[in-house]
Amino acid sequence: MALNLIMLGPPGAGKGTQAERFARTRGIPKISTGDILRDAVHEGTPLGQRAMAVMDRGELVSDDIMIGIIGERLNRDDVRGGFVLDGFPRTVPQAVALDGLMAARDPLIVVDIVVPELELARRLASRMICADCGANGAAGEIVCRRCGGKLVQRTDDNHSVVLERLRIYNMSTKPLVDFYRGRPTFRSINGAQAPDIVAADLASAIEAAGNGNGSLTGGRR
């Protein structure tokens, strides 16, 4: 059975870090929307060319383009054993489209990483990012662990922008939790813990969801 995982959570919840760690441990690809969008543009696929034209105009890539690019990515051979989706879906219409793409596949496991808003604001205000490869770093670090590049503070992590990002998340992305909550493969975990504990809770939640046991597990609240 393929392990098809969606990671949900607000900005600063640590879902990108946990998704990468879990994917590496299980030997399945982590599919980031930013990465596959850049790949599609670089490879010059028809959808990539459409996306580049939109981005060149300074506009957001539409749902239909993103869904098409995700569909192309999920048709590659390396996802036969499963995948971890990070950054998609972001809206309920995208989630509905993803269900269509998954119709003939093993079910999706959905994990929501929950962190209080005050903790999110604290994390985001101190978050660092690599100026070269875009990887996240920890507060106090100055060199990227992935490529050795310089770590800088994200330009969109000042206090007012952080609050706006959380407001947008609550308005447009949080409804995904309600969309998925009733499924037997949905789980919620406490992300306001040390990363190793979150990783252990994540693994336990995914195992339970794969077995279809209950509707909530994995969080030391």
- Does the active-site annotation cover 24? no
C-alpha 46/C-alpha 32 separation (Å) is 19
Q: Of 26, 38, 90, 105, which is the active-site residue?
A: 90
Question: Alpha helices, DSSP H only, in 44-147?
Answer: 46-56, 63-74, 92-101, 117-125
C-alpha 2/C-alpha 207 separation (Å) is 13
- Does the active-site annotation cover 127? yes
Q: Of 15, 50, 73, 123, which is the active-site residue?
A: 15
- Does the active-site annotation cover 150? no
Who's near 95: CB < 8 A, 6+ residues apart? 89, 176, 179, 180
C-alpha 180/C-alpha 152 separation (Å) is 35
- Does the active-site annotation cover 15? yes
The residue behind tokens 């599919």 is 31
Identify how many contiguous H helices and E strands the chain contains and give both numbers. Answer: 9, 8
- Does the active-site annotation cover 154? yes
Q: Of 26, 146, 154, 174, which is the active-site residue?
A: 154
C-alpha 194/C-alpha 46 separation (Å) is 43
Beta-carbon neighbour count of residue 66 at 10 Å?
24
Q: Of 21, 30, 127, 187, which is the active-site residue?
A: 127
* Whether the Cβ atoms of residue 35 and residue 84 lie closer than 8 Å to each other: no
Q: Of 30, 123, 165, 187, which is the active-site residue?
A: 165
- Catalytic residue numbers read 15, 90, 127, 154, 165
